[in-house]
Amino acid sequence: MENLDIKTVADVVTENIKTAHVFKKHGIDFCCGGGISIKKACEKNNVDFDTIVAELNQLENKTSYATDYNNWELDFLIDFIVNTHHKYVEENLTLLKQYGDRVAKVHGHHYTELLEIKDLIHEVSDELAAHMKKEELILFPFIKKLVQAIKNNTPIEKPHFGTVNNPIKMMEEEHDKAGDIFKRISELTDKYQTPEGACNTFKALYSKLEEFEDDLHQHVHLENNILFPKAIKLEASL
């Protein structure tokens, strides 16, 4: 890979989604915090820059169309986000809350961090449920209108929110908030390491939390680093 000295983490992941696994392995944020250079990200996380470069270069540079999100049409990308990531969130939030409530009730007296984890799960659940509705009912339909306006060379009525930048800024702030909640959960769980002798529900909770965080990183990356910047450019071109 070229110009890794100056490229941001988000740039590299946008070019090849497979690189996300390298950054994830080393604890480097590629979604909300992906706008900094790889060198700066390595310094921030005490990771050897040369190690990251070597691992990135080992990856197959060719990205298949199935994961070439950066070249998808925006309306298609929106449908993918809704049908894959929004659906995942909706299906798993209820399960996470059930696990969190159960484990906190049974083990919270001994592992007191579980009480905070339970509260954080409920907080992020409320945040994401409202957040996704705003995207699906307001922002995403407007971006689809932008796509059609460009394709058909037709004008578009100015939305009540003024410019697409306004809801995008709000969505990015909410992404940051959800990301911060999961950073705190990761700290409280020691990166999802269950204590020795933990019951199966305890293990299931931590496993599901880690899986959920991984999905959230992919989800936010697609919006913050691909969909939103392209929507802003699309509106500006009209």
Tokens representing residue 189 in the block: 């769980």
Q: Which of 134, 156, 147 is nearest to 75 (CA)?
A: 147
The owner of tokens 């890794």 is 4
Tokens representing residue 228 in the block: 């939103």
Please give the helix or strand (H or E) that residue 9 lies within, else none: helix 9-15
Q: Which residues contact 140 (CB under 8 A, 6 or more apart)?
A: 78, 82
pLDDT by residue for the chain (238 residues), tens only, comes to 667 878 899 999 988 888 888 998 899 998 888 899 999 999 999 999 999 999 988 875 555 666 789 999 999 999 999 999 999 999 999 999 999 999 999 999 999 999 999 999 999 999 999 999 999 999 999 999 999 999 999 988 899 999 999 999 999 999 999 999 999 999 999 999 999 988 999 999 999 999 999 999 999 999 999 999 999 999 999 8
Residue-wise pLDDT for 4-62, tens only, equals 878 899 999 988 888 888 998 899 998 888 899 999 999 999 999 999 999 988 875 55
Q: Which of 203, 25, 220, 192 is nearest to 132 (CA)?
A: 220
Residue 106 CA, distance from chain mean position: 31
CB 74 within 8 A of CB 230: yes
